[in-house]
Amino acid sequence: MRTITDIADAVRRDERITPQEALTLWREAPLWLLGELAVARKVKASGREVYYNRNVHLEPTNICLFNCEFCSFRRREGDKDAWYMSLDEVEARAKELRGTDITEVHIVGGVHPKHDLDTYCAMIRRVKGALPHVTVKAYTAVEIFYMIRHEGVSVVEGLRRLMEAGMECIPGGGAEIFDSAIREKICPEKCSADEWLAVHRAAHNMGIATNCTMLYGHIESLEHRVDHLNRLRMLQDEAPGFDAFIPLKYHSRGNRLGQVGECSVEDDLRMIAISRIFLDNIPHIKAYWVSYGKATTEMALAFGADDIDGTIGDTTKIYSMAGGVDRPSMSVDELEAMVVDAGFVPVERDSHYNVVEHDAKQVEQVEQVQAAKVTPEAAISELKAEVVVPAKEEPRLRREKAMRVLYDEPVEEKQAVKSAEVKEKAKENINQDKSMSQGDNAQPQGGSAAKSSKGDNGGSIGRLFRRMPVIANMVVICILGIIALVMLYVGLRFGTRHGQSIEVPNFLGMTIEQARDVANSDDLQIIVRDSIFDVDLPGGMVVDQLPRTSSVREVTVKPGRKIYVTINAYSRRIVDIPYVAKQTLRQALNQIERSGLTVDRLIYEPDMTSTDYVLKQFVGRKEILPATNATGQVGTGVTLRVSYRRDEQHTYTPRLVGLSLQQAKSALWDNGLNVGDVVYDDSVEDMISRRKARVYRQSKSIGAEVRRGGDVTLYLTCDEALADSMSIIAEREARSVEQERMKRRLAQDSLAQETM
């Protein structure tokens, strides 16, 4: 077992830590050390940048089928404070947002009993119809799982339909806590952890980026938190696609769990830091300001967070109803100030973490101002405001603030300023006239344009100003205007590379060196964000990338953009081999998979008392005992000797069609079966595509009765249409098998009753 010092050194060397080590850090590391380690990791991952976006939430209803203990948002149909938006109302709400600068609408709400997949798709279509340029981040995996099951389609099919409707990414809600005992207590009706993970896995495999969350600070233990993080990390290893992890602090007002109170700010900071350190394969850690409030969010940046979420515009009630920030809304200035005050560089992002450049918008604003015929005097008086923006701010902030002062104020105010200005100018002219009559050595007072040409009092320009102040001012304004437009144009062309975009190449299968060469020539940056180990692939080969190009999503980015890649490691990581005997097969499998190990074989032995209980464990020929301090490379196979009672010799073949190889293996082991031959069809061209292949046929049919420990041959394809269609058929088959089984059980029960 490594000490705190050893673990800290490992983190500094950018090595992965084990769940046990995360627990040690959590319990024993001083807060400052966690901050240091987490920020070092954050800086490696995303430099000094901290992201925010311009977003709104859309919560179409708070009527929910589920009644979770921690939820203050949920209402029953008919409750006086329940709300429900029809599709027309959703559309009207989206239309109200036209002309704003938001880039994302995050739709999430209660699981309404009357909503089906079509309703959810229609809702997205209405929003996209009203706001075509805005990204729709829609529905938690809980909602998605519900709508898909309700519709009776596969997860893949459901996601495909949502995508077709315009869903671009999936938020991280609904994860709560994965541990089944705690989940059972706080949200027993929601989909299980495995179902939540299955939705995200499927999304990642389809190239849909998602977020993930954890609800912490209620009745869970630190072990439960680490277990949750570990399951997220494993999924990200297996099927990368999480953009950000958002630890959600439990808020206690107005819900049945309230008596447990809320955790401390220190706990929040430890949570953020451990997330950053442990989740070494998730690029962003978000400190959700709506939950944390300003002060903790700022501190969270010193503990490894690199995202604070967005402007929100008072559009979410989930947190305010539970005691989080009331009427949450922040301007871009406030968000940026928070980041700057914490010593980082604010960067506006879109939903896919591309940097958003707003200069094109500023051009639009210039045009709007011109169209609104703002008078030159008003423009000058507002230009003065630029000078008084505090010098502490970054130049970009100053410029943006000035732009807002210039263009965002309502016209009435401009008119008010203008009339004051006109009066001021009249006074000034009188003074100037006076000073002229007194001679040329007195300085004129006030008047911005005149003031900006100071020093020329005695020259011809000065004389022009005194004789024809209005015309002279107009000329200066025109010149300033032309200069500003030229600078804006040059800035747009060359500063922000406006209009330039690069199609993201497919780096899969290249060596990291080749990928870097290609990226360099395309003016992109390659960042290695993760590594896996696959014996069949050469070390250094790129096996995944973000953003990913695919047949359904062709991605273009601005020059200079970072592309995050996962490579096949040159050598395997060494991990502890846990002692997993003397527990149930399921518990043992959990530990084996979590440690990065695999199952070589399940060998069944008859037993008097139990079925699926692990009797012994071996690595090769060596038996692992409680005192054996064994270590092995990631991917090492473990053989388990497992018990069966003679009357429980048989098990049933699970549905494997539609799953990845890894998922299919897990499903077989879970059911006491072994993986037989693995056969790839012609669409699987190389080792890389093997990772993407899915089962389209299984040698034993779904629900077939087979001996425990038997083999099942798996047939895999990369042909998505084939895998999807076979998957739909398999799902139907699985349902009818389940119905048959239920019928049989009922018949047996009634027979038993009759004979009693």
Q: Quote the DSSP letter at residue 445.
A: P
Q: How far is the CB of 715 from ligand V47 (least distance, A)?
A: 36
Parallel/antiparallel/unpaired status of strands 562-568 and 542-546: antiparallel
Contact in structure between 724 and 747 (CB atoms under 8 Å)? no
Q: How far is the CB of 139 from ligand V47 (least distance, A)?
A: 11
Q: How far is the CB of 112 from ligand V47 (least distance, A)?
A: 16
Strand-pairing partners, residue 349, are: 355
Strand locations in 656-736, DSSP E? 674-680, 694-698, 705-707, 711-717
Q: State which residue, 107 or 248, has the beta carbon closest to ligand V47.
A: 248
524 to 355, 367, 456, 512, 670: CA distances (angstroms)? 13, 33, 50, 14, 43
Rounded CA separation 634/532 (Å): 9
Q: State which residue, 177 or 565, has the beta carbon closest to ligand V47.
A: 177
Q: State which residue, 239 or 723, has the beta carbon closest to ligand V47.
A: 239
Q: State which residue, 205 or 315, has the beta carbon closest to ligand V47.
A: 315
Q: State which residue, 224 or 251, has the beta carbon closest to ligand V47.
A: 251
Q: How far is the CB of 596 from ligand V47 (least distance, A)?
A: 27
CA–CA–CA angle 58, 62, 68 (5° rounding): 120
Q: State which residue, 297 or 448, has the beta carbon closest to ligand V47.
A: 297
Q: How far is the CB of 345 from ligand V47 (least distance, A)?
A: 21
Q: How far is the CB of 210 from ligand V47 (least distance, A)?
A: 8
Contact in structure between 279 and 233 (CB atoms under 8 Å)? yes
Rounded CA separation 166/286 (Å): 24
Q: What is the DSSP string of 51-107?
A: EEEEEEEE--B-B-S---TT-SS-B-TT-TT--B--HHHHHHHHHHTTTS---EEEE
3-state secondary structure of 511: strand
Q: Count CA atoms closer than 13 A to 301's CA, side-chain side.
A: 29
Q: How far is the CB of 529 from ligand V47 (least distance, A)?
A: 19
Rounded CA separation 150/116 (Å): 7
Q: State which residue, 288 or 669, has the beta carbon closest to ligand V47.
A: 288
Q: How far is the CB of 257 from ligand V47 (least distance, A)?
A: 8
Contact in structure between 369 and 410 (CB atoms under 8 Å)? no
Residue 33 corresponds to which tokens in the numbers above? 């050390």
Amino acid at 250: Y
Q: State which residue, 248 or 472, has the beta carbon closest to ligand V47.
A: 248
Q: State which residue, 271 or 664, has the beta carbon closest to ligand V47.
A: 271
Select from 679, 687, 725 the least CA-distant residue to 538. 687
Residues in CB range of 743: below 8 A, 6 or more apart:
none
Q: Which position's Cβ is nearest ligand V47?
A: 173
Give the number of other Cβ atoms within 10 Å of residue 312's Cβ: 24
Q: How far is the CB of 248 from ligand V47 (least distance, A)?
A: 4
What backbone phi and psi angles, to 5 degrees, belong to 553? -135, 105
Q: How far is the CB of 301 from ligand V47 (least distance, A)?
A: 17
Residues in CB range of 371: below 8 A, 6 or more apart:
none
Q: State which residue, 243 or 400, has the beta carbon closest to ligand V47.
A: 243
Q: Count CA atoms closer than 13 A to 338's CA, side-chain side.
A: 29
Q: How far is the CB of 215 from ligand V47 (least distance, A)?
A: 4
Q: State which residue, 198 or 726, has the beta carbon closest to ligand V47.
A: 198
136 to 124, 209, 691, 698, 732: CA distances (angstroms)? 7, 12, 29, 37, 31
Q: How far is the CB of 246 from ligand V47 (least distance, A)?
A: 5
Would you tell me which residues interact with ligand V47 (CB under 6 A)? 70-72, 140, 171-174, 176, 211, 213, 215, 246, 248, 250-251, 255, 288, 309, 318, 322
Q: State which residue, 285 or 597, has the beta carbon closest to ligand V47.
A: 285
